[in-house]
Amino acid sequence: MTTVITYGTFDLFHEGHRRLLERAKALGDRLIVAVTTENFDDARGKLNVMQPLMERIQNVRSSGLADEVIIEEYEGQKVNDIQKYRVDIFAIGSDWVSKFDYLNDYCKVVYLERTKGVSSTQLRNESGVIKLGVVGSGRIAARFVAEARFVSGVSIEAVYSRRFESTQAFVQRLELETAVTTYEELLSNVQAIYIASPHTTHFDYAKRAIEAGVHVLCEKPMTLTKAETEELFSLAKARGVVLLEAVKTAFSPGFQRMVAVARMGFIGRIRSVDATFTKLVNVGRELEGLDGGSISELATYPLLAAVKLVGTDYSRICTHSLKREGDEVEIFSRIDLSYLHSVASARTGIGVKAEGELIVAGEKGYVYVPAPWWLTEYFETRFEDSRQNKRYYYKFDGDGLRYELAEFVWMIRNGVLESFKLRPEESIAIAGIIETARANSEYFG
């Protein structure tokens, strides 16, 4: 007798799940299905699981395809299960290709090709899963698609980019369903979109989507001007659709906790915020055009720290930037913000490297977040008396894009138009600072 085992969350059980179980069962004589617990899903970064464990188990049983249903509770359980149940074949969807190759030491591993064009209809009609379109076919869009599989309640339906050949290649490579030729076609087939196109296209794509009643998750910076960002949020509110800027750090557990600790009085009144984000890139090849400097590329992150920790009511902006001879864009900038009772500094670099740390200085102590602070997994509160120091540890799963998508999906499902994790006025303030900093920077070099 050949025993097959497969694993999954099986949230909102749909036709795609059924087809996968049918193909797994066809590989042998007996099929064991392992359903993940809520705690294990959380530990592995699976977000927004909507149904409780027992309901998901019952859905699998009701399919009539599982000879036995077990529970997956911890990392490494698969090895034990394969040996315990004398499993011959481990089967899993093809979106996990190579992830479980290590299990070949214990049994045969089979990656089952994803059922294209089947699950979406049932998801729409029965499960209420949100249909999502992707605008763009570059590296960030690819990372987003990979991260989306960790967020329950959303299905990527179609992709659009300005070059259809690139769109087709992207869809084929990532095993998605549809490459569309026009933006209008994309909007007519989805409930929400994720925009990961060049900065200067964000405003037009977002505005057209909002006018069509489509929810928008837009990569940072949402726009490069305060007026355009204000217009988008105003329009979204009037149309009753969700508009959210995709700044992954804002939605990550560690960063949220750090902001709460810093603002609740442990370190006293906050007087200074210093945040740095630099990375070395090929300026000519990767950041073509006048919208690709260090400020437009990276400033959203350190400015996020500033507005979350000391607010949006700044009184003055002073910017110094380095632009080398022959470069179209600045490769390093320091943006200094003055407030009534505090100051903030944001340093960005695409051709200058510095320590990517965040320091929040207060009257009693300070918060130190080591590099890379924008992927906050660990931070400390430090004091004059080092015996009072305290360390905090939090998870930052994957690329972090799952956090922004999970918040976006939750907002749509619950009819919430504003997230406390990144409020419209904060995105508007960041856009205004970026606009002013780029326009009024004093150059050196």
Number of CB atoms found within 10 A of residue 338's CB:
12
| Fold of the domain spanning 120-247 | Rossmann fold (3.40.50)
Tens of pLDDT, residue by residue over 63-117, are: 999 999 999 998 889 999 999 999 999 999 987 888 899 999 999 999 998 655 4
Sketch the domain layout of the chain as residue ranges: 3-112, 120-247, 250-444
- Please identify, in words, the CATH class of the domain defined by 250-444: alpha beta
β-pair partners for 155 = 131
CA distance linking residue 32 with residue 78, whole number of Å: 12
- Give Cβ neighbours of residue 268 (< 8 Å, ≥ 6 apart): 362, 363, 364, 365
Nearest to 328 by CA among 278, 277, 286, 292: 292
pLDDT per residue of the chain (445 residues) written in tens, 0 to 9: 999 999 999 988 888 889 999 999 999 999 999 999 988 877 777 787 878 899 999 999 999 999 999 999 988 899 999 999 999 999 999 878 888 999 999 999 999 986 554 444 444 444 568 999 999 999 999 999 999 989 988 989 999 999 999 999 999 999 888 999 999 999 999 999 999 999 999 999 999 999 999 999 999 999 999 999 999 999 999 999 999 999 999 999 999 999 999 999 999 999 999 999 999 987 554 455 557 799 999 999 999 999 999 999 999 999 999 998 877 889 999 999 999 999 999 999 999 999 999 999 999 999 999 999 999 999 999 999 999 999 999 989 899 999 999 999 999 988 999 999 999 999 999 999 999 999 999 988 7
Same fold, 3-112 and 120-247: yes
CATH superfamily of the 3-112 domain:
HUPs (3.40.50.620)
CA distance linking residue 407 with residue 420, whole number of Å: 10
Collapsing DSSP to helix, strand or coil, 91 comes out as strand
Nearest to 244 by CA among 276, 277, 275, 202: 202
